[in-house]
């Protein structure tokens, strides 16, 4: 027998939802609309004067070689962060799913980095990879006789922020992949084992396809993470240097908006980043949804 919630007053549900709507309006919808509006203006210092310029901010950005270079940096950074986070997360999940002695401790240790704030993770990597006093260079110097300058070499600096972002987020992927692995139908895996399938064949032909819904979900979440949540790593480790080699869109928005006070330009950059992520998400749905297997 179905039961339906009933309210004595038709206004009561709206009253209960009003605080949520108020918060969304104040902190989500209004800032979003204001960002779109400001992107069409040239804004003076602290917003004292505004001049409507239409799409001039966007035109200037897309004809600026430095901005196009930053856009390319962001694509490279996001690609490697997403691919490595998911690949490493899946590999560690398969290992952590084995029933060995101390498996609960291993899982906690794998998930622990995700519990840290990005700022704390950035500080940890800053100390570890400090060219003069970091433990990484100490070990490399003692064993291999090399002490790379991680913060002034463009390639090494990009590798460093990618590594930091992957390390921070891999625990999130581990949680979901372990949950997916524990819900795989055991009968299918046992049948493949009886048929003589190798571990690689069982993984590639059975396990990975059955995990496709989880993989698709994590692909979206990791993409958003790579574009929007990498600011602390760049800010703490490289400040976008050397020579803009590690400057990415989210950091450049902060720098233009809060250091150079180019509010209109920063708003236009925010809109471009928003549209880029929405476009990537839609493309992932169009391309990836057809390859997702939802069967049991």
Q: In the structure, what pLDDT confidence band is assigned to residue 6 with cuts at 50, 70 and 90?
A: low
Res. 2: pLDDT tops 70: no
Asked, for residue 186, whether it belongs to a domain, the answer is yes
How far is it, in rounded angstroms, from Cα 129 to Cα 100?
Answer: 33
Asked, for residue 201, whether it belongs to a domain, the answer is yes
Asked, for residue 64, whether it belongs to a domain, the answer is yes
User: DSSP 3-state assignment of 45?
Assistant: helix
What's the pLDDT score for residue 16? 87
User: DSSP 3-state assignment of 295?
Assistant: coil
Q: Compute the half-sphere exposure of residue 149: CA atoms within 13 Å on the CB side of its CA.
A: 5
Asked, for residue 35, whether it belongs to a domain, the answer is no
Asked, for residue 246, whether it belongs to a domain, the answer is yes
For the chain, what is the domain count?
A: 1
For residue range 9-58, list pLDDT tens digits in order: 788 888 889 999 999 999 989 999 999 999 999 887 766 788 888 899 99
Asked, for residue 121, whether it belongs to a domain, the answer is yes
Range of the domain at 218: 56-291
For residue range 183-198, list pLDDT tens digits in order: 888 778 788 778 777 8
Asked, for residue 31, whether it belongs to a domain, the answer is no
For residue range 83-141, list pLDDT tens digits in order: 999 999 999 998 888 877 777 788 888 888 888 888 899 999 999 998 888 899 999 99
- Single pTM value for the model: 0.88
Asked whether 73 and 246 are in contact (CB, 8 A), the reply is yes
Q: What angle do CA 116, 117, 122 make, to 5 degrees?
A: 95
Nearest CA-CA partner of 170 in 109, 86, 60, 44? 86
Residues 199-212, mean pLDDT to the nearest whole number: 85
CATH number, domain with residue 275:
1.10.3720.10
Report the percentage of the chain scoring pLDDT > 70.
Answer: 94
How far is it, in rounded angstroms, from Cα 106 to Cα 117?
Answer: 21
Asked, for residue 153, whether it belongs to a domain, the answer is yes
Backbone angles phi, psi at 52, to 5 degrees: -70, 125
The secondary structure of 115-175 as a DSSP string is HS-HHHHHHHHHHHT-TTT-HHHHHHHHHTS----TTTSHHHHHHHHHHHHHHHHHHHHHH
């Amino acid at each position: 027998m179905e039961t339906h919630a009933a309210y004595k007053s038709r206004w009561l549900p709206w009253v209960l939802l009003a605080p949520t709507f108020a918060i969304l309006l104040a902190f989500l919808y209004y800032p979003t609309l204001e960002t779109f509006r400001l992107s069409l203006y040239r804004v003076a210092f602290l917003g004292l004067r505004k001049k409507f310029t239409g799409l001039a901010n966007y035109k200037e950005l897309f004809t600026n070689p430095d901005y196009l270079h930053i856009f390319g940096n962001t694509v490279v950074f996001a690609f490697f962060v997403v691919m490595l986070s998911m690949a490493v997360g899946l590999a560690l999940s398969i290992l952590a799913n084995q029933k060995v002695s101390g498996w609960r401790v291993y899982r906690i240790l794998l998930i622990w980095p995700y519990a840290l704030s990005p700022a704390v993770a950035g500080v940890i990597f800053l100390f570890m990879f400090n060219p003069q006093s970091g433990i990484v260079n100490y070990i490399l110097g003692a064993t291999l006789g090399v002490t790379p300058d991680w913060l002034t070499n463009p390639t090494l600096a990009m590798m460093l922020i990618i590594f930091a972002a992957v390390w921070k987020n891999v625990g999130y992927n581990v949680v979901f992949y372990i949950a997916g692995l524990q819900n795989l139908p055991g009968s299918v895996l046992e049948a493949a084992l009886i048929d003589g399938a190798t571990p690689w064949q069982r993984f590639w032909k059975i396990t990975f396809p059955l995990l496709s819904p989880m993989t698709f979900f994590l692909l979206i979440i990791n993409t958003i993470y790579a574009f929007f949540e990498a600011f602390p790593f760049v800010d703490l480790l490289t400040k976008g240097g050397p020579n803009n080699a590690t400057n990415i869109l989210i950091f450049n928005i902060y720098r233009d908006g809060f250091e150079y006070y180019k509010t209109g330009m920063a708003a236009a950059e925010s809109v471009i980043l928003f549209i880029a992520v929405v476009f990537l998400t839609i493309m992932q749905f169009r391309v990836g949804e057809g390859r997702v297997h939802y069967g049991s």
